[in-house]
Structure 1
Amino acid sequence: MTNNNNEEVIEELKRIVKQKGLKYTEQREIVLDILINAEDHLSAEDVYNQIKTKYSDSNIGIATVYRALGFLEEVNLITSIAFGTEGKKYESNAKSHHDHLICTSCGKIVEFLDDEIEKRQDRIAKKNKFKITSHSMQLYGTCKDCQEEK
């Protein structure tokens, strides 16, 4: 992802905050920046730990991270995958569309895109006179490493 793209996402955050009549906060921007630049899906604790490392001079607590994540998800700048009692893992919506394979043993997430699945979804929608505006596919199972442990 380019820095220019990152700046566009941050500008979108500023636009949304202004539109909602809210105060712009650096904390939200920092949380969004962490997720835009993340290689993996991150838990709130992962985001918090990266903030402590990357923005050591900021005074952002874990509660602020949770509030920022909730707000960013509400305005569709990030998305999450729920892990039941283990909480959620987050990623930026600035990435190109993809689906997920999720290991129910270790929590590993593999991103994939399959053109045949995408085409089939479109055909199913057309057949049923639906216009797809968005979708999310999450397939659950056990990864190779967890299968070998059993």
Structure 2
Amino acid sequence: MLVENIEYDVLLESFKKILRQGGLKYTKQREILLKTLYNSDTHYTPESLYMEIKQIEPNLNIGIATVYRTLNLLEDAQMVTSISFGSAGKKYELANKPHHDHMICKNCGKIIEFENSIIEEQQSIIAQQYNFKLTGHLMQLYGICSECNLKPKTRI
């Protein structure tokens, strides 16, 4: 079930349905997690999402394990997408945005979202050349962001 620019109430109902199908309980903690993702353009690590929730709802009794489990559940349901940083873990975002790709800074971890119609068109052409039915893609470009490029280089 892919989420495409839908209102929060519809998103929440889809989430509740997924929980029921998995035999899991709907909780305030899980709803606050979903709402935090919905209201932000940030790419969260589980830890940064946990800290954001604790800042928004300081009295909410939520554990980091709940954040990890809920993110895994949402990712399995294709309601969130993740970018893997290898041993440094993943960063998550809600999958309700139009398709976009990412540039990731190898120094600071900054993620820059972009869309490019030429790249999208070329992917379709390449798939067609190889008689390949393209069902989706994830593009991640790695490099150094403009802020890190401006920092003085240190020699070791």
Give the alignment's TM-score, normalised by structure 2: 0.86
Counterparts of 1:22 and 1:68, CA distance in 2: 10
Displacement after TM superposition at 1:43 (Å): 1.2
Alignment of 1:19 with 2:21, yes or no, is yes
CA distance in 2, matches of 1:68, 1:142: 32
Count of residue correspondences: 148
Query: Who is 1:118 aligned against?
Result: 120
Equivalent pair of 1:81/1:88 in contact (CA under 8 Å): yes
- The answer to whether the aligner puts 1:30 opposite 2:32 as a matched pair is yes
Shift, 1:89, TM fit? 1.0
Partner of 1:77: 79
Q: Does 1:47 align with 2:39?
A: no
Q: Secondary structure at the match of 1:40?
A: coil
Cα deviation, residue 121, structure 1:
0.8
Is the 2:106–2:143 Cα contact (8 Å) retained in structure 1? yes
The alignment's C-alpha RMSD in Å is: 1.7
State the TM-score, normalizing by the size of structure 1.
Answer: 0.89
Q: Any gaps of 5 or more consecutive residues in structure 2?
A: none
Aligned to 2:107: 105
The sequence identity of aligned pairs, in percent, is: 50
- Secondary structure at 2:14's aligned position in 1? helix
Shift of 1:101: 0.2
Structure 1 moving runs of 4+ over 4 Å? none
Deviations 1:58-117 (A, max 9, x none): 200112111111111111111111122322111000111100000010000000000000
The amino acid that maps onto 1:138 is Q
Give the corresponding residue for 2:132: 130
Q: Which position in structure 1 is the counterpart of 2:146? A: 144
Secondary structure of residue in 2 paired with 1:59:
coil
1:18-48: CA deviation from partner (whole Å, max 9, x where unpaired):
2334332332222121111112211112111
Query: d(CA) in 2 for partners of 1:34 and 1:57?
Result: 15
Give the drift of 1:4. Answer: 6.1
C-alpha distance in 1, partners of 2:120/2:27?
Answer: 38
Q: Which has the higher contact order (CA 8 A, sep 6+)?
A: 2
Whether the 8 Å contact between 1:27 and 1:68 is mirrored in structure 2 is no
* Cα distance, 1:148 vs structure 2: 2.1
1:17: how far off?
Answer: 2.1
